[in-house]
Structure 1
């Protein structure tokens, strides 16, 4: 197999197959390592409560696979910890524990036509169960014993052992939040309904699932949306709305520096007066999940202007951008934003981009580490928190005021 440049891997994250190979060799290796999981305790009948946890695949679209996940023998509130990004972040659940929890979920796989979501989701109560605010008792009858492996992805949470489902029964009563229940029957564009739910306090993960399972949008045009697509789509839809609302807001009064770390990922966030430019700098150490053969750090940069136009698409940037704009909206202020993500070698398995969203949100919920630091102080702080990656020069450039049309007319 030809050597794949690590720069390509950090951009692809196993999803786009930019290397030209039919599957990602890094993810294939992780899956093979996970096959040592015990198989003896599994059977073709699975009883438990879905947390809820559901995933829509994309291969073969519009003919897609729908994964309905249940932890065998785990029922009631205890099942929630198997799909709980907010709880994982607040309790600082370690990477190994998250991988273990996800590996214990058994997924019954159903085939569905993305153009006709009602045939599967509405009639069997699978859709309401997927949006329930509490775990829902469920039963799976599988066509064969589950395949003993865990599937990893740079965008979604790991998926445990899978098998085709002969039967999926929702035995409990799903309980939906009132705004979600109303949204199901609204004949309105998905972006409008996503914002309405977000504005009413529904968490972004419920909105992602609602879009993915075809419960948002014009009634006659609803579709199943692959989970990977839905995650980024919701981040971008909400970010666009927040940008529009902030368009005429006053700028923040000075420079603010924030920091947080979780799952061996460090985030440095700098806010400074400006109309809303954003720069995402992602630095991967050698020997992380996407840089196993790199001889040095691998960096990538995404830039977005105040109108939301960017130089490249990146799901990690979309996940980080939303909590920043949410924070600025809560203050009624605009700002230019620099976000630096440093990925340490201990990040050995991808668990989705939820932790980016939650760690950036956690950083901005704290008091700033520094306010209006001098250039030398900012350089020293960045080097201390993120490491010596030659960031000082780039940050110094970004901290300079941007030239406006008016400045050329003076």
Structure 2
């Protein structure tokens, strides 16, 4: 749909008459253009590690030009609760100062990297001053990462107020004999969220032979490690008793889950409709599906990091219930949802999905018949793409 001045005048950023889930004009107007090279603010904390030119990567300590409690700038649970305009304004106002580092520098960190570690340790806002070589420009939208604000080369970093570090995080940081995987699980079991753990891994604060890890890789690594750990626990439990269905509609996205009373297996599928982020110019729905059996998978799913982000959500739910199931998850993305959001959007929505009221069925056929009235996607088209819906081992749940 073409956005005309007449449409904007009628809408004024409140009615979303253009069909989008946010107002591009409001976002543009609300994010101030920064001319200064001296940025003073409270880092939530926020550190981004790039992946280009690996193993020489850019590391970006970041802060908005705001002093105070900025934790919401890095809190996916909060992001789900606020308007998309506010979310974009928040994320795009995080200013990044970039410095090139070798990934192996985490084994013998210099003063700057130690300061970056100090920013991350408290898991709370830290007042910092970024001295940049030039005014920050640009920004970045990514399928794997939340939106990133403008950046410029970093000249100097100064910490002006540093809260006490988390004792747990500091202990694990100081233990360079503790494997990264074990550190990740210990942090997770002590209620440190996966986003915070990924940040620690990314800046080289976990493990024996420590390295800087590009942020998008660290997020997937933590999602994979945590979900693998939970799945091994789930496999010790009895299966659920009936076929269960969960449905969540949110911002031109539909999330559904089918849980079958069988041993663990997992599938994540997405249907991108014309006019959505990755199908802006197509005429037909594009469907992607990846899955695993009881023993997991050895290759990386083509569908990307959202596979493991969704796997965390369902594994957490089953582990909490102390039950085992085959989990078939599916997402529809509609026209108007045209922004890359990052895998956090999938992880948090799957967590919310399992808070919804469940529907119980005796057979998979009954569940699919119900979903015909919920999904926009033709059930037969989904089944043709699915690996688990057509698997012989679920035939007994069809009738």
- Above 0.5 in TM-score? yes
Look up the match of 2:139.
Answer: 150
Aligned-partner Cα distance in 1 for 2:357–2:152? 47
Indicate the SS of the match to 2:105.
coil
In the superposition, relative to structure 1, how do residues 150 and 254 fare at CA in structure 2: closer, same or farther (>3 Å)? same
Identify unmatched segments of 5+ residues in structure 2. 1-23
Measure, in 2, the Cα distance between the counterparts of 1:210 and 1:311. Answer: 25
Structure 1: how far apart are the matches of 2:62 and 2:192? Answer: 22
Residues 291 and 224 of structure 1, relative CA distance in 2, 3 Å threshold: same
- The CA distance in 2 between the partners of 1:391 and 1:100, in whole Å, is 41
The reply on whether 1:45 has 2:33 as its aligned counterpart is no
Measured in 2, the distance between the counterparts of 1:152 and 1:123 equals 26
CA distance in 1, matches of 2:212, 2:391: 45
**Residue deviations 1:16-62 (CA, integer Å, cap 9, x gap):** xxxxxxxxxxxxxxx9xx99987754301011111111110011111
- Counterpart of 1:371 (choices 360, 364, 377) is 360
1:302 corresponds to which residue? 290
3-state DSSP of counterpart to 1:317: helix
Distance in 1 separating the partners of 2:101 and 2:171? 25
- What is the DSSP-based 3-state SS (H/G/I as helix, E as strand, rest coil) of the residue aligned with 2:104? coil
Structure 1 residue 261: Cα displacement: 3.0
- Does residue 289 in structure 1 map to residue 277 in structure 2? yes
**Number of residue equivalences:** 366
**Structure 1 residues 195-218: Cα deviation after superposition (integer angstroms, max 9, x where no partner):** 111111111111101111111111
SS of structure 1 residue aligned to 2:158: strand
Deviations 1:130-150 (A, max 9, x none): 243221101011101112x22
How far, CA to CA, are the matches of 1:353 and 1:393 in structure 2? 22
Q: TM-score, normalised by structure 1?
A: 0.82
Structure 2: distance between partners of 1:198 and 1:38: 34
Pairing 1:226-237 to 2, within 5 Å after superposition: 226-237=214-225
Q: Secondary structure in 1 aligned to 2:297?
A: coil
Q: 1:304 to 1:387 in 2, by over 3 A?
A: same
- 197, 213, 237: which one pairs with 1:225? 213
Q: What do the CA deviations read for 1:279-329 (whole angstroms, capped 9, x no partner)?
A: 211100111121111111000110111111167512111100011111111
Aligned 1:274-285 pairs, distance under 5 A: 274-285=262-273
- Specify which of 229, 236, 242 is matched with residue 230 of structure 2: 242
Equivalent residue number for residue 9 of structure 1: none
Instruction: Give the structure 1 partner of residue 15 of structure 2.
Output: none
- In 1, Cα distance between equivalents of 2:242 and 2:139: 46
Does 1:133 find its partner at 2:126? no
Q: CA RMSD in A?
A: 2.7
